[in-house]
Amino acid sequence: MKMIKLACALTLGAALSACGASDVVTRAAPLTNTGTTSTVIHSTNSFQQPAVRTSAETLQAAIVQQIRVSQINVNVPASLKASEANRYYPNGDIVWREDPIGDRHAQVGKILKDSMTAGTASFQGPVPVILDIQLVRFHALSEKARYTVGGVHHVVFDMMLRDARTGEHLSKPRRIETDLEAFGGQQAKTAEARGLTQKVRLSNHLAEVIRQQMTKPEGYKNASHGFFQLVNRI
């Protein structure tokens, strides 16, 4: 998130409001400024301009204190291909097994929506914003990988912030790539016995990803996971 631009956009937005009373892989189109959105939630809360700061950290903190994520839109394009192949590395855009066989697009969409909601719940400022999310790839583990070698969970999505009162874009679309160690074999069984399923671990991880993206000056930084991480980018 470009902090100076976002701060200026928030300030401008507030001022304007005050004046007006198969296994074939396909990739989702980038999130654009004309994407479909849900009904905008309106607020009469006034904006308090953050004081001028001298560091990126304090400026980011001031911005975060002003915003409240009042609406989250998650789009999982129908063009993304869900794979049910039980191979070590299924060649598809969506690989998800922990829910019963069904609408994988809806299942991973719910995981994203719940995670984004949890990750932004602490933002309770006076300025309502909309968070738009569009999924590009969601790779958990197939059964074969889950109970043998493990691997890396790989999720890619585009995000953008908008003013909930005006619809004005507060940030450019930003692509986020994130990876999380995926347990395999006995480690996976032990984790499941403790309640740490793939869904729980991925949901917690994605919540932390969006929190870091919106609170750190440099945004979220993906960790390095070696060979399996490289394979996910093929």
DSSP 19-35: H-------PPPPP-TT-
Domain harbouring 97, CATH code: 3.40.50
Which pTM does this prediction carry? 0.75
- Of the listed ranges 53-67, 155-169, 170-184, 212-226, the one predicted with least confidence: 53-67
Q: pLDDT tens across 76-120, in order?
A: 999 999 999 999 988 899 999 999 999 999 999 999 999 999 999
Would you state the pLDDT for residue 232? 55
| Residue 151, in any domain of the structure | yes
Residue 34 in this model has a pLDDT that exceeds 50: no
| Residue 29, in any domain of the structure | no
Domain count, the chain: 1
Residues of the chain by 3-state class (helix, strand, coil), percent to 5: 35, 20, 45
| Residue 36, in any domain of the structure | no
| Residue 26, in any domain of the structure | no
Higher pLDDT, 228 or 162: 162
Contact 15, 71 (CB under 8 A): no
Residue 12 in this model has a pLDDT that exceeds 70: no
Contact 215, 64 (CB under 8 A): yes
Residue 176 in this model has a pLDDT that exceeds 90: yes
| Residue 124, in any domain of the structure | yes
Residue 40 in this model has a pLDDT that exceeds 60: no
- Domain range spanning residue 110? 3-19+51-231
| Residue 33, in any domain of the structure | no
| Residue 127, in any domain of the structure | yes
| Residue 226, in any domain of the structure | yes
